[in-house]
Chain A
Amino acid sequence: MESTRFFSLSRFALLMHNDILLNYKKYLLTIAGAFILGYIILFIQMPIREIDSNFKATQYIPIFTVCLFGLGAFIGMSFPALNSKTDTITYLLMPASAFEKFMSQFLIRIVAGTILFFLIFWIDAHLAKTTALFVLRKFEHIPQIASFEFAIIYRSIYMNNNSLMMFGIIFMLVSTGIYIFSVRMFFKKMPVVKIVISIVSLFIIAFLLMVLLSHIFYPETVGMRLTIPERKVVLNHSNVEIWLCSIFYCSWLFFLALGYFKLKEKQL
């Protein structure tokens, strides 16, 4: 009996069934909206006139980055029941453990959300290319349009064969996603806006702290500049790389725990 206090597969399945049954229309509309918006964003970047220059594979990267904000917004809208007092009562009193409630949202918002994001982006990119080529078919000179493949993203983050930084970037994105997911529980109204403000505030605070530390440890620092002496520490990796990676490699775990305990201790 006690082991099922935290997790029971059958109860978790019922919770997922409950969520999908109540929200499937919302999810389908979100998928359709993301599909259309992604297609529009990609299509308007494609060369559709004779005079347009070729569309290189690397040009997908900034578009992909912009679209990632959409995924961030979807994650930021997790735990929709916590937006109002009345829904919060129903949600908190639902017969499932805090861990199961946390896991169900994690699966829907982060796992399923990310998989669908990649899938939608891939389909949109190929659809945008196909439609652009269809528009261009009447011209004599047709600009070249590179096909989208995930290797483009992989190559862009696997800079200088530096796998430490590649995983650093991946974990930075994972940490950001989990930060958005977990911190959302601290905000009742307009969570996405408040999350954006909190991220900006965090960056400003971190920057100011580093400026302060620069002034303390390196008195020659001028104004709002940072002094970070870089040196190779281990396996040709610099101290800055190791410092950044150690933050990103671990922070997602902290944010995950923060979110879980915030939900567990959530009060009306």
Chain B
Amino acid sequence: MIQIKNLSFYYKKKSPLFNDFSLQLESGCIVGLLGKNGAGKSTLLSLITGLIQPQSGEINVNGFTPFSRNPNFLSDIYMVPEEFSFPHVSIATYVKAFSPLYPAFDHKKLQGIFEEFELLPASNLNKLSHGQRKKFLIAFALSTNCKVLVLDEPTNGLDIPSKSQFRKILVSSVTDEQMVLISTHQVKDIDTIIDKVVVIDNGVIIYQENTNEITRKLYFDTVSSFTDSDQVLYSERCPFGYRVVKHANGETESNIDIELLFNAIIHKTI
């Protein structure tokens, strides 16, 4: 569980990024953290993982204060950063060096994901493409079985088949005790797997809702045209007319168009 209360954080005192920020996320779900560039997504992830210290406020992750960097906390949280580097070793050596530090590490699961992602343990990490290295890092992160997985732009650099493999593997490997926090710009890559949407803008949560609540309240559709009487909350032009979001009528449900939802939130129509 992640609990943030009255958090304040700034890089420059005159322009605070977070001011009196509060957020609560429960385990057993995949959370999509969305926001524009500079909204504070990566900073929030750094605060949650304990890489930076807030100026004031309280952060509690599974009973630990992240910045204390208690080893028991660190062995139960894994972050896949947007940018990463590896030592000049093979995949097998990296696994041999790092996996013992995670008590719940599952080697069988790793082997299974390696097969899905077509990764060879003998390959040198620095001779792989960026996408392959990312796939390895995601595979390693999922195999740690950490209670909190933090993924910053996990689908950046992945090819189209790998993106769907990533979604499939993520959904099948996450347990009820785990929480996955995904920060991404590529909202379409995660729209079918997230359980909760959190949108932040300028350090403020402007929207947070479970996906089943979203589908209960909102209806996403593509129409050739619409009128005022259709009570469209937000619309965007597309090749076949308009992608629209409107209030659900309670009878039919639609798939969430996260990109449309995000734009509607940013334009303050929801």
Binding site for B on A (CB under 8 A): 1, 4-5, 8, 11, 14-15, 17-18, 21-23, 25, 84-87, 89-90, 92-98, 100, 264-265, 267-268
- Give the shortest distance, in Å, between A3 (CB) and chain B (any CB): 12
Query: How far apart are A44's CB and chain B's nearest CB, in angstroms?
Result: 33
Are the C-beta atoms of A18 and B84 separated by less than 8 Å? Answer: no
What are 28 A-B contacts with C-beta separation under 8 Å?
A4-B72, A8-B71, A14-B101, A17-B100, A18-B100, A21-B89, A21-B93, A21-B97, A25-B88, A84-B85, A86-B83, A86-B84, A89-B81, A92-B51, A93-B74, A93-B77, A93-B79, A94-B74, A94-B98, A94-B101, A95-B71, A95-B75, A95-B102, A96-B74, A96-B101, A100-B71, A264-B69, A267-B51
Residues of B64-116 at the interface with A, using a CB-CB cut-off of 8 Å, are 69-72, 74-75, 77-79, 81, 83-85, 87-89, 93-94, 96-98, 100-102
A89 touches B84 (CB 8 A): yes
Give the residues in chain B near A87, CB-CB below 8 Å: 85
Is the Cβ of B77 less than 8 Å from the Cβ of A96?
Answer: no
Contact residues in B for A23 (Cβ distance below 8 Å) = 87
The reply to whether A93 and B49 contact each other, CB–CB distance below 8 Å, is yes
With A22-B89, A23-B87, A268-B52 as contacts: A89 and B102 at CB distance below 8 Å: no
Is B70 a contact partner of A5 (Cβ separation < 8 A)? yes
Alpha-carbon distance between A1 and B71 when the two chains are bound, in angstroms: 10
Judged by DSSP, the binding face of A is: helix
Shortest CB distance A90–B (Å):
7
Task: Establish whether residues A95 and B79, one from each chain, have CB atoms under 8 Å apart when the complex forms.
Answer: no
* Smallest CB separation, A8 vs chain B (Å): 7
CA distance A21 to B235 in the complex (A): 56
State A15–B71 Cα separation when bound (angstroms): 12
Q: Which residues of B contact A14 (CB under 8 A)?
A: 100-101
Residues of B in contact, count (CB < 8 Å): 30
Determine if B3 is an interface residue (Cβ-Cβ < 8 Å): no
User: Contact between B49 and A4 (Cβ–Cβ < 8 Å)?
Assistant: no
**Complex CA–CA separation, A5 to B72 (angstroms):** 7
Q: Which of B53, B69, B75, B81 has the most CB of A within 10 A?
A: B69
Most A CB contacts (10 A, CB to CB) among B85, B93, B94, B102 go to B85
Residues on A with C-beta less than 8 A from B69 are 92, 97-98, 264
A residues within 8 A CB of B85?
A: 84, 86-87, 90
Chain A residue contacts of B72, Cβ below 8 A: 1, 4-5
* Separation of A237 and B105 alpha carbons in the complex (Å): 61
**Which residues of B are interface residues toward A (Cβ below 8 A)?**
46, 49-53, 69-72, 74-75, 77-79, 81, 83-85, 87-89, 93-94, 96-98, 100-102
* Closest CB pairs A-B (n = 6): A95-B75, A95-B74, A268-B51, A86-B85, A21-B97, A18-B97
Closest to A90 in B: B84
A90 to B70, CA, bound (A): 15
Contacts of A264 in B (CB 8 A): 69
Q: Is the CB–CB distance between B87 and A11 below 8 Å?
A: no
**Given A1-B72, A94-B101, list of 4 further CB < 8 A pairs?**
A11-B71, A22-B89, A93-B51, A93-B74
Chain B contacts for A84, CB-based, 8 A: 85
Q: Which residue of B lies closest to A5 (CB)?
A: B70
Which of chain A's residues have a CB closer than 8 A to the CB of B100?
14, 17-18
Q: How far is the CA of A10 from the CA of B117 in the complex (A)?
A: 33
* Neighbouring A residues of B53 by C-beta, 8 Å: 265, 267
Residues of A within 8 A of B52 (CB): 267-268
Name B96's closest neighbour in chain A (CB-CB): A21
CB nearest to A100 among chain B residues: B71
The chain B residue with its CB closest to the CB of A13 is B100
Whether B81 pairs with A86 at a CB distance below 8 angstroms is yes
CB of A153, distance to nearest CB on chain B (Å): 37
Closest partner residue, chain B, to A86 (CB atom): B85
CB closest residue in chain A, given B53? A267
A97 to B85, CA, bound (A): 22
Write out the residue numbers on chain B whose beta carbons fall within 8 Å of the beta carbon of A100. 71
Report how far A23 CA is from B87 CA in the complex, Å: 8
Q: What residues on A are CB-neighbors of B88 within 8 Å? A: 25
Q: Which residue of chain B lies nearest to A1 when distances are taken between CB atoms in the complex?
A: B72
B102 and chain A: residue at smallest CB distance: A95
In Å, the complex CA distance between A44 and B201 comes to 66
* A95 and B51 form a contact (CB under 8 A): no
Given A268-B46, A268-B51, are A18 and B101 also a contact pair (CB < 8 Å)?
yes
Checking B51, B75, B87 against A89 with a beta-carbon cut-off of 8 angstroms, the contacting residue is B51
- Chain A residues contacting B51 (CB-CB under 8 Å) are 89, 92-93, 267-268
Partner of B93, one of A1, A22, A92, A265: A22
In whole angstroms, what is the CA distance A5 to B65 when docked?
13
Task: State the CA gap A89–B93 with chains docked (Å).
Answer: 20
A262 shortest CB reach to chain B, Å = 14
| Residue in chain B with minimal CB distance to A263 | B69
Assembly CA distance A18 to B75 (angstroms): 15
